[in-house]
Chain A
Amino acid sequence: MNYTDINILELLPQRPPFVMVDHLTDYSEAQSSCDLTIREDNVFCKDGELAAAGLVEHIAQTCAARLGYYNKYILKTGVRLGFIGEVKDLDIVRLPRQGERIDTTITVIQEIFDVTLVNAEVRVGTEVIATTRLKIAQGEQSSE
C-alpha cells in the first residue's frame, strides 16, 4: 500500500487550519513517518519559520496519523481523539524554514492500553533538526 495516497484528514481528528502533517509516508506498528512542507499560510509559521509549538504539534500528529491508520485500516473502527500527556527531553537544533519539507519518524517504545510512548526524530533531508520523547493518550472516537 502506498500510504502517501491516503488523504491525511481520514487519519486525524484535527481539522484545518490545525493540521500539521501532509502525508503518512511509512507505517508499521513499531515505527511510522510523516512529512510536512512549511507553507506561509501555516498558522504556526512566523517570520519565515515554523514555531516550536508547530514543530511539536507536527510530531504529535505523526503519532496521531499512526494511531489513525491502525484504528481505521487495521481495527476498522473510527479515528479517536488524542492528547499529549508528556513532552520529554525536547531538543530543537533549529526550526524548519518556510519552503522546507520536514520528515519525522516516531519509534514506539511502549504501548499500554490507550497510552503510547514514542521517540521522535525530525529531519530536513538527512539533517536532524529536533528530537524528543512524547507520551500520547487516546480518548473517545472523533465526532467527524
Chain B
Amino acid sequence: MVLQDNLFSIISQVQEGGQPAFQVQINKEWPIYRAHFPGHPITPGVCIVQMIQELLEVHLGRKVSLRKAKNVKYLAIISPEEVSELTVSFPKIEEQEDGSLKVQAQVASGETLFTKLSATFQ
C-alpha cells in the first residue's frame, strides 16, 4: 500500500531553516478510514510513520526502509474530520558511516504537534 495520493497528497515542499518540510493534504475519503475504525475514522499511527518514510523518499529521491526506531511519540490523534492539512518536517537527516540515515521528523498542524519520530532508515 502506497500512501502518497491515497492517504495524503503533497501540496508543497519547503525548506524550514535549511531542513526539508512538506505541506500535505489528508484525503478523508481514504477507504482505510472506514476500517480504522467503523464510524470513528482515525489515522493509523503506523501509517503516519509510513507517510514520513514516503516523504523522506521524495526528499532523497530513493527508496529507504525503517530498521530501528528509538521512539515514535503520538501526542494527539489525527482525525480526518478535524484535520485536513499537515506539516511534516525533518529537523535532522544525518547519514551514518554505514550508509544508514538517522532521522528526526515531526508531524504538526498549526500549533498542534501530533507525532515526533526519531529513527534509523536504511
Contacts and interface: CB of A to CB of B under 8 A. Distances in A.
Chain B interface mostly: mixed
Interface of B: 1, 32, 34-40, 42, 44-47, 49-50, 53, 65-74, 77, 119
Contact of A57 (B39, B46, B70): B46
A14 B49 CA distance: 19
Contacts of B45: 56, 60, 83-84, 87
Most buried by A among B1, B46, B69, B77: B46
A81 B44 CA distance: 12
Interface in A15-57: 15-19, 43-44, 46, 51-54, 56-57
Interface string A73-99: 000000001011111111110010000
A142 interface: yes
Contact of B38 (A15, A52, A87, A132): A15
A108 B65 CA distance: 28
A63 to B, nearest CB: 12
27 contacts: A14-B37, A15-B34, A15-B37, A15-B38, A16-B35, A17-B35, A52-B50, A52-B65, A52-B66, A53-B46, A56-B46, A57-B44, A60-B46, A83-B74, A83-B77, A84-B45, A84-B46, A87-B45, A87-B69, A87-B72, A88-B71, A88-B72, A90-B68, A90-B72, A142-B37, A143-B38, A144-B38
